[in-house]
Structure 1
Amino acid sequence: MDNDKLFRLFQKLQDPPFQCINRKRKIRSIPKFSIDCCTFTANRRSGFIEYDPFLLEFLNEEQIVWILLHEEGHMRFQFERIDWNDNPVNNNDINTPDDSHRSEYNADMYAARKMLENFPDLKAYEIMERAVMANCYCNPKSFFCFLKKWLKKVCNALKFLSFESTHPPMSVRIKKTKEFYEENVLKNQ
Structure 2
Amino acid sequence: MSFYTTTKPIEIPKLVEVQLTELGIAIKGPLGSLFQLIDVHNTKIEMSSNYLTIQALNSSKQARSIVGTINALISNMIRGVTNGFEKKLLIVGVGYKAQVSGNILNLNLGFSHPISYSVPEDIKVETPNPTEILIKGIDKQKVGQVAADVRSYRRPEPYKGKGIRYFDEKVIIKETKKK
Q: Per the shorter chain, which TM-score range?
A: under 0.3
TM-score (norm 2): 0.26
Q: Which has the higher strand share?
A: 2
TM-score (norm 1): 0.25
Structure number with larger C-alpha Rg: 2
Whose RCO is larger (CA < 8 A, sep 6+)? 1
